[in-house]
């Protein structure tokens, strides 16, 4: 009897814990339709809920750019590497927004979806993935705005760019931003479900991190002592790289980009592992 049972085939075994590296990626693939529908939901509901709708996508980076030009450009007089200030800041803002949104939204994914997570099973990883993809759409729209501004500067202000090979690296840059935001967001989400007060630190932390990334200043102006710290930030080569590709000026080497890619992948994988650990018992602590 017992020996017969051992050979029986079971489709699913629910146990207290599963192997550390069982990432359920096959499960995630099976639910790919859900991912697409969630992205659609985010978009449709955003479009329907606000009066300004998609205009908001443009307004937010534009207003921030105006503010940065005034504060950091005029008042503080920070260098922009000789690039037109609006272009310089908008590039930084659009890229940083994408990363920051991925990170903050992912970090609160358990809290935001406690209701659904408590009622039905699906691979929890779908939720953060849908955040990254939804924000990618938003990033695309804002990127278009950036391109428009770039053309304005080329035709009306006589700004000349040297079209360069770095632009081809753009998909890699976006990929790094996505997985870095996703990975660190998931690690934080795991910590905040356990020790809630950490949630307050996230927005603050992201803001601090922005100043440790060349968003409002070029890496080239940083003093050698600080440069080492800033270069350790995987977001640094990404921002500098996007600037080289689009505007022709930046401080990025292939080695630093490789470093950013590898460290982001490490953060992503540890994020998934931590996330999968937490998702099993999270609902008990709500």
- Minimum distance between the CB of residue 61 and another protein, rounded to whole angstroms? 25
Tell me which residues touch another protein (CB under 8 A): 9-17, 31, 33-34, 36-38, 40-41, 44-45, 48-49, 115-122, 194-197, 280-281, 283-285
Distance of alpha carbon 272 from its chain centroid, rounded? 15
CB atoms within 10 A of CB 64: 17
Question: Closer to another protein at the Cβ: 29 or 211?
Answer: 29
- Minimum distance between the CB of residue 114 and another protein, rounded to whole angstroms? 11
- Minimum distance between the CB of residue 120 and another protein, rounded to whole angstroms? 5
CA distances from 181 to 6, 32, 199, 225, 250 (A): 44, 20, 16, 27, 22
- Minimum distance between the CB of residue 136 and another protein, rounded to whole angstroms? 20
- Minimum distance between the CB of residue 193 and another protein, rounded to whole angstroms? 9
Kindly state the tokens that stand for 220.
């080239």
- Minimum distance between the CB of residue 194 and another protein, rounded to whole angstroms? 6
CB atoms within 10 A of CB 193: 22
Question: Closer to another protein at the Cβ: 40 or 74?
Answer: 40
Question: Closer to another protein at the Cβ: 266 or 283?
Answer: 283
Question: Closer to another protein at the Cβ: 38 or 100?
Answer: 38
Hey, CA dihedral for 259, 261, 265, 267, is it positive or negative? positive
Closest CA to 242 of 26, 89, 55, 34: 89
Question: Closer to another protein at the Cβ: 20 or 255?
Answer: 20
Spatial CB neighbours of 75, under 8 Å, sequence gap ≥ 6: none
Element (H, E) at 2: helix 2-7
Closest CA to 239 of 183, 155, 169, 188: 169
Question: Closer to another protein at the Cβ: 158 or 284?
Answer: 284
Kindly state the tokens that stand for 3.
């020996």
């Amino acid at each position: 009897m017992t020996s017969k049972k051992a050979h029986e085939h079971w489709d699913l075994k629910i146990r207290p814990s599963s192997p550390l590296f069982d990432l359920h990626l096959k499960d995630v693939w099976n639910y790919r339709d859900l991912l697409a529908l969630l992205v659609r939901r985010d978009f449709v509901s955003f479009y329907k809920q606000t009066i300004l709708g998609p205009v908001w996508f443009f307004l937010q980076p534009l207003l921030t750019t105006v503010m940065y030009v005034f504060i950091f450009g005029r008042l503080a007089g920070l260098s922009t590497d000789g690039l037109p200030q609006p272009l310089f800041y908008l590039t930084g803002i659009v890229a940083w927004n994408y990363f920051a949104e991925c990170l903050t939204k992912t970090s609160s994914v358990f809290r935001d979806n406690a209701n659904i997570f408590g009622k039905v099973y699906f691979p929890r990883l779908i939720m953060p993935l849908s955040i990254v993809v939804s924000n990618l759409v938003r990033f695309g729209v804002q990127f278009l705005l950036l391109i428009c501004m770039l053309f304005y500067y080329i035709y009306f202000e006589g700004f000349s760019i040297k079209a360069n090979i770095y632009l081809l690296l753009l998909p890699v840059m976006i990929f790094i931003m996505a997985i870095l935001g996703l990975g660190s967001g998931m690690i934080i989400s795991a910590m905040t479900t356990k020790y809630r007060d950490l949630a307050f630190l996230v927005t603050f932390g992201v803001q601090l991190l922005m100043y440790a990334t060349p968003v409002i200043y070029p890496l080239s102006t940083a003093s050698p002592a600080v440069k080492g710290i800033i270069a350790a930030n995987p977001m640094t080569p990404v921002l500098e790289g996007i600037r080289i590709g689009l505007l022709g000026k930046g401080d990025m080497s292939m080695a630093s980009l490789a470093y950013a890619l590898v460290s982001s992948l490490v953060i992503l994988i540890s994020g998934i592992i931590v996330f999968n650990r937490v998702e099993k018992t999270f609902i008990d602590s709500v």
